[in-house]
Amino acid sequence: MTHRPPGAARWLLERVLPRDTAGESMRGDAWEEFVRRARSGSLHRARLWYWRHVLHLSLRYALPTATGRLGEGGRGVGIELRRAARGLVWAPGSSATAVLVLAMGIGLSAFMFSVILGFFHRGLGLPEEERIRVVEVLSPEEGLVSGNPGAALVAPLMEGLESGKVAAWDVVSANFQTPSRPVRLSTTYLSPGAFRLLGLEPALGSAPRREDGGGEVPLVVSHRAWQRDFGGRTDIVGLQLRSDDTPMTVVGVMPPGFHFPETQDAWTLLPAEAFRRGETPTGRMNLAVRLAPGRSVEQLDAELRTRASRVVADGAGLPSDLSYRSVSLMERYTGSALLALLLAMAAAVGMVLLAACANVANLLVARAGERTAEVGVRAALGGSRLRVVLPFLLESLLLALGGAALGVAMAYQGVEVLDAALSPELTRRPYFIRFAIDAPVLAFSLGVAVVAALLAGIGPALRAAAVPPASVMGSAGRGATLRSGRLARILVVAEVALSSAVLVGAGVTGASLLELGRVDVGFDPAPVMTARMALVDDAWSDPGTRGDLMARYLERLDERPELEAAALAANLPALGAVDPRLEVEGVTYARDEDRPLGSVMSVSPGFFRVLRRPVVAGRDLRPGDGLAERVVLVDEPLARATFPDGGALGGRIRIHQGEGARGEWHRIVGIVPDVTPQGLGPDTDPGGIYFPLLQEPPGFVSVMARGPGEDPEALLPAMRAALGEVAPGLPLYLEAPLDARIQETLWFYRIFGTVFLGFGVAALAMAGLGLHAVVSFSVTRRRTELGVRRALGADGRGLVRLVGTRVVREVAVGLGLGLTVGWLMGSSIQALAFQVDPRDPRVFLAVAALVGMVALVATTAPLRRALRADPVEALRAE
């Protein structure tokens, strides 16, 4: 059988050795030796030998060439570097541990940095975006009118709107008639010059020109909408369609992944006059300018302040404390809500990194002990302090660089997974939030590696430099005189403390994930399909028209054989509802707080049939309810809260509308099961009260349906078709299974909770490795002592106590510190806690138990070695 050396090592050798006959001969020799070893021993060992040999030759041949170019000093460093590298290669076990530990620390840092960068710093992808400034209105009286102020307040800034020196936009969803079916797209309405000012450039077709005034209104659509709603048709540019009653012409398609300003799918123009008068779709607007070449942000802000004081002086009824300021687009569109959480996560990652450094420092201290003689000789021969310190720093630098390479590879995987998990469909994240390992992240990782190298290397290095040569020369052969004891102990305590603190966070998120796993909304959402419709255009301004449409839509839905049950509702179950205070007829309430809270739902008949939760008592809603007598359903929790003595059925109840106001009484005609109207938020769920939908037909309404099968998506065509029969041109949107809609409310806990749990696992591994290394070292160092004790008759238990007591003490101190930090971090981890108290004592107990267990496992093997300490061996060493 012929053996071949490992391919990757061969590849490396091919590159390091010179391409001459010397190189060829060496390659051949290595091959030959590999085959010899493979034949006479194990193939595995032969491979191992080959790898070591290749790394060794690499150090000898590749490094000198590289460092030699740096001149004499470089050559000196090169020699040291080679020495350090050789030391690492020939102690593969502890080097691999150190690299792995650093990889975890650096990898998590790179990952976290990429996430923070993704949320806050990648920009919206517009040309020279840093020169675009969004004007914000500040008014302490009115609070900060963030970025989207009413027309009156910004009127003084409108100069230049017509000429395109100022851009204005407003965002709202609108209905469009595509050739195939009606759709609802989130749309940006821009002032005529805004396309050019902002630099919005379609990939297909062209941006609307300002002259496109009269006649048809130009429309630009996103690449996503083009593919999804227009079937990717090639003749999209020039396509005529209508948005409500306005005829529009598609003039362009934006590049893929572009959804300015956040998740929008369509862009169109609104006349400057509309912005000037404040007649935008939402009545509010964003204003932005582009800094002229040579003009600074400070100059712009100064001018804005002057303008503000001028308009205030002119009167016009504006608040006297009005002022303006400018912010970047990124500042305008990224909230600070996530910041606290991300910072807590970054802190956790920082702790893991510190623990990693402490770990590696410990390893280096142990190694420094073994190298006492070398250090002493160097110092005695008059080696400069730098010469003594350098090997330690270089060693930790090499380890950190190895860790960085591995860590970045791990972070790359992590970021890919996170990017996929946080899909735009699930989270509706703005398009500019994207996660990647790119140049800034790589640079950051390199920086972290250097810092980590210094952190890990400086302690052992300075300690070595401080040793007087004479003290080590005498005992050179006999192991450690570099007193590494106290430093190592401090490092172990620090490691355990940092790991425990991170573990508390991971414990809280882990418990949250468990809670998420067993949430019960009171019904099975999986087979239910949902969609939403907007009846907000002029055509639907009359409630009667809306109610009529809803009634006819319900009839058509009922006629559909594909649907087992269907209903309309102002909002979907388990997705949140307003919860005002209620009052029961005949009960007097001393204080407002005495009135029970109720989650207000507004539903059509059939709502509970769709959820397959039948009415408990009384009857369901019927068509026509809410038109003559006012009736209502309450769920069981609310029935108990409002009628503690029973008798809810037939009782009358109304929404408390404040003193003086008198809402209408509603008779309770049915008791229904609890379907958690508020959903799975962290708050407690007040019981539900269900009003007939048609009593006050809302502008936005959800349709929900269930079929005989298990596939909710299959119901969508029937739901669309039924609507098409009663309101052609009215689109359904937010079409999604109910289960998916409920999951949307939970992704945050799920994904970030999982990430945090990952941090915890890394921290735990770190604590285990650190303890193992330190106890091993300590046992090795005290081998003689242990042997002598053994020889003098100490029993195993005594030896274990001797070594174990200190470990227990260190772990206990570290644990105490860590749990305290975890307690203090409680409020910042709150955001990730799902129905779990971040200071739940059970979490702290679990962390203590886990750390104790890991400590036990990590120290068992070295302790066993302590027990086996051979008295004869020990005395021979003397």
Partner 1 sequence: MSADFPGELEQMVLLAVLRHEEAFASSIIQELEETAGRSASRGSIYRTLDRMEEKGWIRHEMEESTPDRGGHRRRRYEVTAEGVATLRTSREALRNLWDGLESVLGDGAP
Part of the chain binding partner 1 (CB under 8 A), chosen from 27-35, 527-535, 685-693, 858-866 = 27-35
Closest to partner 1 by CB, 7 vs 317, is 7
Q: Closest distance between partner 1 and the C-beta of residue 53, in Å?
A: 6
Q: Which is nearer to partner 1, 2 or 320 (CB)?
A: 2
CB of 21 to partner 1, least distance (A): 5
Distance CA 365, CA 492 (A): 12
Tokens 């048609």 found at: 694
Could you give the count of Cα atoms lying within 13 Å of 844 in the half-sphere of its Cβ?
A: 18
CA atoms within 13 A on the CB side of 527: 15
Which residues fall within 8 angstroms of residue 423, CB to CB, at 6 or more apart?
none
- Shortest Cβ distance from residue 41 to partner 1 (Å)? 15
Tell the smallest beta-carbon distance from residue 55 to partner 1 (Å). 10
Smallest distance, Å, CB 429 to partner 1?
A: 53
Number of residues that bind partner 1 (CB under 8 A): 22
Kind and range of the H or E run holding 531: strand 528-534
DSSP-derived secondary structure for 42-65: -HHHHHHHHHHHHHHHHHHHHHHH
CB of 7 to partner 1, least distance (A): 11
* 824: nearest Cα among 511, 497, 338, 336: 497
Contact pattern for partner 1 over residues 41 through 80, marking x by CB under 8 A? ------------x--xx-xx--------------------
Closest by CA to 276, choosing from 171, 196, 188, 156, is 156
Question: Which residue, 59 or 634, has its beta carbon nearer to partner 1?
Answer: 59
Q: How many whole angstroms separate alpha carbon 613 and alpha carbon 141?
A: 50
In the list 8, 11, 15, 32, the residue contacting partner 1 (rule: CB under 8 A) is 32
22 binds partner 1 (CB under 8 A): yes
Q: Which helix (H) or strand (E) holds 311?
A: helix 297-313
* Segment near partner 1 (CB under 8 A); pick from 19-27, 170-178, 252-260, 830-838: 19-27
Nearer to partner 1, 16 or 848 (CB): 16
Residue of the chain from 5, 698, 822, 838 that contacts partner 1 (CB under 8 A): 5
In the complex with partner 1, which residue's Cβ is closer, 55 or 675? 55
Please answer whether residues 400 and 452 qualify as being in contact, where contact means their C-beta atoms are separated by less than 8 angstroms. Answer: yes
DSSP assignment string, 321-362: T-EEEEEEHHHHH--SHHHHHHHHHHHHHHHHHHHHHHHHHH
d(CA 52, CA 58): 10
Contacts of 783 (CB under 8 A, 6+ apart): 869, 873, 874, 877
3-state SS class at 649: coil
State the minimum distance, in angstroms, from the CB of residue 2 to partner 1: 8
- 296's CB contacts (< 8 A; 6+ apart) are none
Among 6, 12, 35, 462, binds partner 1 (CB under 8 A): 35
SS3 content of the chain, % helix, strand, coil (to 5): 55, 15, 30
Beta strands, E only, 535-664: 565-569, 582-584, 599-603, 617-618, 631-635, 652-655
In this chain, which of 8, 11, 15, 36 binds partner 1, going by CB under 8 A? 36
From residue 50, alpha-carbon distances to 24, 26, 30, 37, 41 in Å are 16, 12, 7, 10, 13
By CB under 8 A, tell whether 31 contacts partner 1: yes
Q: What is the CA radius of gyration of the chain?
A: 36
Q: Which of 21, 234, 336, 588 binds partner 1 (CB under 8 A)?
A: 21
Provide, rounded to whole angstroms, the least separation between the CB of residue 374 and partner 1. Answer: 18
Answer yes or no whether residue 24 interacts with partner 1 by CB under 8 A.
Answer: yes
Smallest distance, Å, CB 35 to partner 1? 4
Which of 26, 346, 421, 808 contacts partner 1 by CB under 8 A?
26
User: Minimum distance between the CB of residue 45 and partner 1, rounded to whole angstroms?
Assistant: 16
**Nearer to partner 1 (CB atom), residue 24 or residue 273:** 24
Closer to partner 1 by CB, 33 or 419: give it. Answer: 33
Judged by beta carbon, residue 21 or residue 588, the one nearer partner 1 is 21
* Comparison of 22 and 849: residue with beta carbon closer to partner 1: 22
Nearest CB to partner 1, comparing residues 60 and 864: 60
Can you point out the beta strands (E) in 589-699? 599-603, 617-618, 631-635, 652-655, 666-672, 688-692
CB of 815 to partner 1, least distance (A): 46
Handedness of CA 763, 766, 768, 771 (dihedral sign): negative
Among 22-30, 210-218, 438-446, 550-558, the segment contacting partner 1 (CB under 8 A): 22-30
Of 63 and 116, CB closest to partner 1: 63
In the bound state with partner 1, the residue whose beta carbon lies nearer, of 75 and 276, is 75
The tokens for 401 are 């660089």
Q: Least distance to partner 1 from the beta carbon of 43, Å?
A: 14
Closer to partner 1 by CB, 30 or 574: give it. 30
Residue type, 422: L
Closest approach of partner 1 to the CB of residue 10, in Å: 8
Nearer to partner 1, 22 or 877 (CB): 22
- Output b/e per residue, 56-72; b: 16+ Cβ within 10 A: ebbbebebbeebeeeee
For partner 1, the binding residue among 6, 33, 419, 724 (CB under 8 A) is: 33
The whole-angstrom separation of Cα 567 and Cα 761 is: 46
Kindly tell me which residue out of 8, 11, 25, 612 binds partner 1, with binding defined by CB under 8 A: 25
Kindly tell me which residue out of 8, 11, 29, 617 binds partner 1, with binding defined by CB under 8 A.
Answer: 29
The CA distance from 88 to 402, in Å, is: 11
Pick out residues in 832-851 that bind partner 1 (CB under 8 A). Answer: none
Which residue in the set 11, 15, 28, 809 belongs to the binding site for partner 1 (CB under 8 A)?
28
Nearer to partner 1, 28 or 624 (CB): 28
| Bridge partner residues of 241 (DSSP) | 248
Closest approach of partner 1 to the CB of residue 88, in Å = 15
Sign of CA dihedral 227, 232, 236, 241: negative
Indicate which single residue of 27, 75, 307, 667 sits in contact with partner 1 (rule: CB under 8 A).
27
- Footprint of partner 1 (CB under 8 A): 2, 4-5, 21-22, 24-33, 35-36, 53, 56-57, 59-60
